[in-house]
Amino acid sequence: MSQKDVGNKVPIYKLKTTNEVMKYYDEWGAENKYDKDMIAWNYTGPKETANVFKKYAQNKNIKIFDAGCGTGLVGIELKKFGYNNFDGADLSQKLLNLIPAGLYKKIMKADLNKTIAVNNDTYDAVMCVGTFTFAHVKPNALEEFIRITKNGGLICFTINEGIYEEYGFDKKIKELSDKKNWEMKEFFKSDYIASKDVNAWLGIAQVIK
């Protein structure tokens, strides 16, 4: 599916630059329109990813990093399954401001295309849902996720099908597997935004150090 095709369904996919995306999110966050749209569109990414994650993360006390947390949709799903120790990061301050109070232990504004201001081996798991998409975060972020995750930790993520090959995620995932930086546990096509017929690849990998 090309960028033009999905752009007709989800307008943000038409955007090309980070600045354009941030301006769009600032407007999208007004009066909580973002969350309302996610409900209206039947955005299943957070719920489906949390469902996969809980199969591999039996310990509910692990420390989790929600990369590209937006308004906290993944955090809400994690909490439903009994996880409570998670931090969030996003580039849009407008969306961060909409996160329910007390949901995350810590929230930070961060550009995930750059080095994350987190020490090596800090987290037991990284969640990244809805962030690997058009004009958002590029494949090299996966290496940063591995850096901040402990040996044996989990990285659970979605990749919009429209950018999977175009942005080189297919090559990066193979490279990280070939170099034994991680072991992929599951990787399959999910519904993602069902009402818009937009699918995503959903993967979960275990870090090897």
Per-residue pLDDT of 74-118, as tens digits, reads 999 999 999 999 999 998 898 899 999 999 999 999 999 999 999
Residues in CB range of 86: below 8 A, 6 or more apart: 63, 64, 65, 66, 75, 78, 104, 105, 127
pLDDT at position 160 is 87
Tokens for 1?
A: 């599916």
* Number of domains within the chain: 1
**pTM of the model as a whole:** 0.85
pLDDT at 33 (0 to 100): 58
Please give the residue range of the domain that contains residue 66.
Answer: 3-207
CATH of the domain at 95: 3.40.50.150
Query: Is residue 9's pLDDT more than 50?
Result: no
pLDDT at 153: 98
Q: Which of 65-69, 123-127, 158-162, 167-171 shows the lowest per-residue confidence on average (mean pLDDT)? A: 158-162
What's the rounded Cα separation, in Å, for the pair 96 and 115?
A: 19
